[in-house]
Structure 1
Amino acid sequence: MKQKSVFMPLLLWLVIPFAAFATRSISSVDLIKGANAVINSQETVFTVTSPASATTTFKTRITILNENGLHRAKLYVPYDKLSKVNYIKGASYLQGGKKIKTLKNSDITDVSSISDFSLFEDNRIKIADLTHTIYPFIVEFEYQTTSSNMLFYHTWAPLDEDKLSVENATFTVVMPQAMKMRYREANLQQKVATEVKDGKTIYSWQVSNLTPIKTEPYAPPMAELVPMVRTAPTEFEVQGYAGDMNNWLSYGQWFNKLNEGRDVLPEATKAKIAALVADAKTPEEKVKRIYNYLQSNTRYISIQLGIGGWQPFEASFVDSKGYGDCKALTNYTQAMLKAVGIQSHHALIRAGENVPDLMTDFPSSQFNHVILSVPMKQDTLWLECTSQNESAGYAGSFTGNRKALLITPEGGKLVNTPAYKAAENTVNRTVKVTLDDAGNGTASAVTHYKGVEHESYRDLLHVASPEDQRKWLYRNISIPSFELKQFSFDMKKARLPEVTEKLELSVRKCATISGKRMFLAPNLMNKWDSTPNSVENRTLEVVRSSAYTNSDTVIYELPAGYSLEFKPTDMAYDTEFGTFKATTKVEGQKVTYVRTIQMHKGRYKPEAYTKMLEFMNSIVKADGQQLVFVKNVQ
């Protein structure tokens, strides 16, 4: 599924560092080692003036060490209908302190940030450019913005990429004493310092001498490793809509205000929907028919205009125009279900593959998407209302296996979306191969992809032409030398969708002939040939984010006149990371190879990495084994 744009115009303030003296040297060699750039100093001041407005001031200074750090010589300041850029200043210097240039208006471009699938969007970005071609050099930036979008407070993480160092960075939040600000700290050298002055509560954080993050294979997300402060309001207001974010219940109540009265459908549409489901035998069948109607009669277009980043267009608008964003299409589907007596709820979600878990103990705007939750008698049916191809009830890698905020009539309530384990994410393949005397083969392969494993094939079916599908198969079939004779796909929609792929292949050198011997590696299409690097003294946890089961049965028909000389030993491994089993059976000229691997999703202690590598290396070894046959001499 193509990831949709956020349904709220999230302001991503890209922080690039500041200081007063361009001639000051970097304090530690350790900051330079392994870095492409060094943040010499950074000042971030977030001043809240009321529940409806705030200003942000950045002063930044950074040393660009090489071309891989050159992107830090550009400053990106986003703005929209709810925010404005008051000023941007900047200058660049050679390492010795000689000024290269002062930022001019001509060095600042103002561009739209409208996405490819957006029809209405007022998000823009000012880009200040101080790039230079001689390294190292120094850039300084300063800017100020004013925002009336108080749903979002700042997340401060100065060490925001790898191969970056931070010499010194500070973050200050100034609040009216009568207002409460909430925060969540992680990986800090020291906790918050607070003071009350002139009717303001001032919160201050500081970090210094942060060397580049050392990455390791299968490491946790970077957001878990770096110093970070997340802040959020309690009381807030956006374009006259006041809310309370102290808990999830009250946060959901604010969304109820935005949605109130926007689910009214024309009488003619209600009659059409009633007729559509008149002979449906179950509530689930009604839901599926209405979902199919949605997919056939609407399309997704992002709409991000002011409060429209959160408030859906009326159901009648979508009904007449045939398009909407995730909020509008979800609201429209909810209205159609309501018309036939089926209750449903909006569900706010952080969509995307391998996204960080929701911080359940920190109520705040952590979401970028909305889907529809339809309670059934036995379970819940989840609907992705932006997709014209998705199966009703399937959440998959985009919205599955995570927390969502259900917007009930009473307010917000955290719930779990469907989790897809190894037993549900499956690839089952059967291949029949006929070999000739030269070791070439003709193969017929039938593969069933289910659950998360079907997703790339589902998208291929719906967005790619037959010729593009053929090219994709050539890129993704793991056979060294082959010709694709024929192919076809078939998709079965269900709560656990399935795609069936059929291939007819001509395989060159499927087996190797050497003198009177034939060498055959039986694993034709699913071979592991490498593993991650070993890591001495690993410090980070091991995170496996995918779970699946693959089963391959490959049947070979050998040319006449060959007899078995060597057959690999059957192998089986059972570990905490997964299981593997491979068996080979030879009956005359027929070879049957069966391989099954199941990998678990999980989080393990650092010392488990060595055992996981041993397991993976065992699979590589097993996949590389060969049978040896000898040509009978007449």
Structure 2
Amino acid sequence: MKQKTTLLPLILWLAISSLAAFAAKQTNPIDLKKGANVIINKEETVFAVASRGSATTTFKTRITILNENGLHRAKLYVPYDKLTKVVYVKGTSYDTYGVKLKTLKNSDIVDVSAITDNSLFADNRVKIANLSHTMYPFTVEFEYQVTTTNMLFYPTWAPLDEESLSVEKSVFTVTIPAGLKLRYREANLQQPVAMRTEAGQQIFTWEVSNLAPFKSEPYMPPMAELVPMVRTAPTDFEVEGYAGNMETWLNYGQWINKLNAGRDVLPEATKTKIAAIVADAKTPEEKAKRIYNYLQNNTRYISIQLGIGGWQPFEASFVDGKGYGDCKALTNYTQAMLKTVGIDSYHALIRAGDDVAPILSDFPGQQFNHVILSVPMEKDTLWLECTSQHESAGYTGSFTGNRKALLVTPEGGKLVSTPTYTATENTQYRTATVKLDEKGNGTANVQTRYTGLSHEDHRDVMQNASPENQRKWLYKNIDIPAFEIQNFAFELKKGKLPEVNEKLELSLRQVATLSGKRMFLAPNLMNKWDSTPNAVENRKWDVMRASAYTNTDIVTYEMPAGYTLEYKPTDTNYKTEFGTFKTITKVDGQKVTYERTLQMNKGRFKPEAYAQMLEFMNNIVKADGQQLVFVKNVQ
């Protein structure tokens, strides 16, 4: 009887545990561990707007770290500056059995500067809390609160913010006084916002649960476009006494005008100097280019980010006297110099960077990280990157080209497009002559012209690397199996479509291979494709190609005496919506001429088009691997 009495609680406990496990499985059918390094068990973000000029954010999270690839989530980073204050940071960690490992003390929280090397004045700092552990899995809990008077920015909620992360539950709440208007943009949510009014506060709540890890695919759109996300923004706002409205781009531009007002005054001596610089210029464009050249030769970029200074430029007289400024200040200075010679120009706010996601044109707000100058001309617009000491006037390139910018006119803001560079402008045109000996070795003289986006890597190497490092870069980037550089030279030609001309003298080892009396030659010397992306079954996302270009190679070989052609590959010509590819091989005695042209188009295609794109790419790989066969004549 005692044994039965002892076993009963155990049996009941097992039964209850089984039922609990079954219930949990029914409510959470997704295996959150599969494909995950991290599980967000529970996360809550509350953004409480107190007025148009202040708000408080409270954040709580519980995270399970499954392996070392998720260890970075055991660190919490809380940035702050003059306008944002950290109220508290808390944290606790637990082992796999739920036993407490550590509770954060204030002395455990590291406080460091967050300014970059090119920052002279900046107040950006970050508090770092680290609860890393060496035995997996383990769990961390973090909580922090910050207050801000920088109401340009309302939060963006993106619970699935990286790959190999799953989310059990995440909640985002915004509270805002009834007299203020919240603007928001939802994407890819399980359910829309829940709204209610309570004690004079509007309360907006979003929630997601059981999100499996995001699976990336080759050539997919930006991840931020595909995952659950809520963007919020103010209507009326205030920053350090500057009040504004952000409901339209026009209104936001008017606020920028408030910040810029009266900051374009130059010393009389500088006005006189500028007038002399452009005295004999024949056109407004020539005047603008001379002033831009003066800017590049007499100033340098230094980041200045102090409070409202993150958006308000330093006075033109400051830049004139100091010789430095950030993007806003240098743009303002250039605008002031142009104004002295009767040329109108406008600040253009832009989201700069290679491969950045486009701004949301239908959701006005502070979505920008950079300022350039737009100078309208009679037939075109001259865009000036005022932070660069080397860039060509009028060239926007991969950093600010092919995107929307907010033009700040006297009337207010207006969205415009910066230049887009096409496949016929982003080019690589190469000619090479190769002389082979009987062992398959050779010498080559190669000349290549790079234009548009295709010239940028070579331009950067020219401007930023020593000759020795330029040579090292060439060895790393020339796609030939075995070679030595005898001589090289670069030449940069500036313009609205700049170009770099590259000259190489190379010695080649076994560019052709021997087998008995036969010599095998792959005629594509330097631009060979040898792989393609992986196939994707049941592809989910659209196919996106963000850039377009044209590559042309014309290679002439002088074969060694005594060899005759035995086999020549068939010429190729493929035309698809993704691009075109064409090769022509001609043999005339000992002279072989190989021509290859590849044009890749940019665009967005349906997921099912991925298989056709892979087929096109595989055809290129196959063609690039083809060889000519020569046979040595036997006397």
- Name 1:5's counterpart in structure 2: none
TM-score if structure 1 supplies the norm length? 0.96
Verify: 1:494 aligned to 2:495, yes or no: yes
Question: 1:30: how far off?
Answer: 1.4
Shift of 1:106: 2.3
Equivalences for residues 331-370 of structure 1 within 5 A:
331-370=332-371
SS at match of 2:429: strand
Which residue number in structure 2 is paired with residue 142 of structure 1? Answer: 143
Q: TM-score, normalised by structure 2?
A: 0.95
Structure 2 residue 385 is the aligned partner of structure 1 residue 384 = yes
Deviations 1:450-472 (Å, cap 9, x if unpaired)?
00000011111111000000000
Give 1:226 shift. Answer: 0.7
Instruction: After TM superposition, list the pairs within 5 Å mapping 1:14-413 onto structure 2.
Output: 27=28, 30-413=31-414
- Aligned equivalents of 2:319, 2:523: Cα separation in 1: 55
Contact 1:555 1:590 in 2 (8 A): yes
Count of aligned positions: 611
* AA aligned opposite 1:458: R
Report what 1:583 is aligned to.
Answer: 584
How far apart, CA to CA, are the structure 2 residues paired with 1:228 and 1:193? Answer: 15
Secondary structure (helix, strand or coil) at the match of 2:32 reads helix
Deviation string, structure 1 residues 12-51 (Cα, Å, up to 9, x no partner): xxxxxxxxxxxx9995561100000000000100000011
Deviations 1:218-262 (A, max 9, x none): 111110111000000000000000000010000000000000000
Residues 310 and 327 in structure 1, CA contact (< 8 A), matched pair in contact too = yes
- The answer as to whether partners of 2:66 and 2:137 remain within 8 angstroms in 1 is yes
What SS does the aligned partner of 1:373 have?
A: strand
1:85-112 deviation line (CA, Å, top 9, x unaligned): 0001110001221100111122210000
1:572 maps to which residue?
A: 573
1:295 maps to amino acid: Q
Amino acid at match of 2:453: V
Which residue of 2 is the match for residue 630 of structure 1? 631
Residue equivalent to 1:457: 458
Provide the C-alpha distance between the structure 1 equivalents of 2:177 and 2:538, rounded to a whole number of angstroms: 48
Query: Aligned residues: percent identity?
Result: 74
Q: Partner of 2:309: helix, strand, or coil?
A: helix
Q: Gaps (5+ residues) in structure 1?
A: 1-23
* Letter in structure 1 aligned against 2:608: E
Aligned partners of 2:582, 2:64: CA distance in 1, in Å? 53
Question: For the residues of structure 2 that align with 1:252 and 1:403, how far apart are their CA atoms?
Answer: 14
1:30 is paired with a residue whose SS is: coil
Kept in 2, the 8 Å contact 1:107–1:130? The answer is no
State the partner residue of 2:438.
437
Aligned equivalents of 2:584, 2:281: Cα separation in 1 = 48
Residue type matched to 2:355 in 1?
Answer: N
The CA distance in 2 between the partners of 1:129 and 1:620, in whole Å, is 47
| Distance of 1:449 and 1:358 partners within structure 2 | 29
Partners of 1:549 and 1:342 in 2: CA distance: 37
AA partner of residue 117 (structure 1): N
Give distance in 2, aligned partners of 1:316 and 1:507. Answer: 57
CA offsets 1:135-172 (integer angstroms, 9 cap, x no match) = 00000011100000000000000110000000000000
2-structure distance, mates of 1:298, 1:633:
70
In the aligned structure 2, how far is the partner of 1:501 from the partner of 1:66?
47
Q: Rg larger in 1 or in 2?
A: 2
Indicate the SS of the match to 1:407: strand
The 3-state SS of whatever aligns with 1:607 is helix
SS of 2:408 mapped into structure 1? strand
- Counterpart CA distance in 2 for 1:459 and 1:465 is 11
Matched AA of 1:121: A
Distance in 2 of aligned mates of 1:51 and 1:561: 85
* Pairwise CA distance, 1:116: 1.2
> 2:54 is aligned with what amino acid?
S
Distance 1:182 1:577, change over 3 A: same
1:537-576 alignment, distance < 5 Å: 537-576=538-577
